[in-house]
Amino acid sequence: MRLILLGPPGAGKGTQAQYLVAKYGLVQLSTGDMLRAAVKADTPLGRQVGEIMARGALCPDDIVVSIVEQRVGQPDARKGFILDGFPRTEPQAEALDRMLAKHGQALDAVVQLKVDEAALMRRIESRVAEMTARGEALRPDDNPEVLHKRLAAYRAQTEPLIAYYRRCGVLRVIDGMAPIPEVARQIEQVLSGGSAAAPPAKVKPKSTGKRHGIGKKSKTRKKMSRKPATTARKRRATKSRPKAKIKPQTRRRTRVRRRRPRW
């Protein structure tokens, strides 16, 4: 199973990725971790990446795709993987699709955790207030202003990417504002071939005011109504003739002659 999780900062991608790793035996792949591992391994590609990172420049898409290709070919990624932080642009997505197709593979799903950004901002503000009240140290990203900038960057980068995967037919949209177990259930449902959303209600067709069998005659009725003209005329003629009166039968009396006696 090959997946991509999309969602803005604070949408819960990390939490859901850990759940999928534990349930399906997948590997969560972060492009930042893969690039640092390649540099540490001191491979020819890693040395090239190291030189680019030393200059403070961004790695070209073809190098990043090559790093991903090497990583997904390792034994622990045979069951599948979840890509984290890659792709970020449509050209990167196209390059990833070409690389997978070269190995006879394709993405199974791109899961988008859709959230309400205003609700995310309120969530961060509430968390910051609670941590401050408890005297806990704040993380660098526990800042509404920082989150606002990251959300704006996410929208600019990811909206074209969402449109691309929607055209490819692999995008699955999940309500990321639901409780964590419900989000996990929805993701599992779409991965098993179902739909996370309830099916739309069936709309009854508007009545045209005609009943079946009224108006146009069916072929069967037309066939039954067609009769030979001669038979119809005979029946009409028979009906128009007056019926003859039947006289009641009378019993005829037989006259019996009596013989005179002979004396």
Paired tokens of 262 = 């002979």
Question: Mean pLDDT across the stretch 28-33?
Answer: 83
Mean pLDDT (the chain) is 77
Look at residue 155 in the predicted model and tell me its pLDDT.
83
Q: What percent of the chain has pLDDT over 90?
A: 21
pLDDT digits (tens, 9 = 90+) for 105-118: 999 999 999 988 88
**Does residue 90 or residue 199 have the better pLDDT?**
90
The mean pLDDT of 16-33, rounded to a whole number, is 88
At residue 24, the 3 state secondary structure works out as: helix
**Catalytic-residue membership of 139:** yes
pLDDT more than 70, % of the chain: 72
Q: Higher pLDDT residue, 154 or 213?
A: 154
Which of 139, 166, 217, 221 is flagged as catalytic?
139
Q: Which candidate in 36, 114, 123, 127 is catalytic?
A: 127
Measuring CA to CA, how many Å separate 68 from each of 5, 26, 44, 204, 207? 16, 15, 15, 51, 58
Q: Domains along the chain? A: 2-191 (3.40.50.300)
Is 241 noted as a catalytic residue in this protein? no
Classify 113 as helix, strand or coil. strand
| Residue with the larger pLDDT of the pair 47 and 234 | 47
Band of residue 205 on the pLDDT scale cut at 50, 70, 90:
very low
Going by pLDDT thresholds of 50, 70 and 90, the confidence category of residue 140 is low
Asked about 211 being catalytic, the answer comes back as: no
Question: What's the average model confidence in pLDDT over 92-104?
Answer: 91
Q: Does residue 12 contact residue 176 with C-beta atoms inside 8 Å?
A: yes
Please identify which of the residues 36, 114, 123, 150 carries the catalytic annotation. Answer: 150
How much is the average pLDDT of 255-263?
57
Element housing 114 (H / E) = strand 109-114
- Name the pLDDT band for 200 (thresholds 50, 70, 90): very low
Catalytic (active site) residue 149: no
Model pLDDT for residues 78-93, shown as the tens digit of each residue? 889 999 778 888 888 9
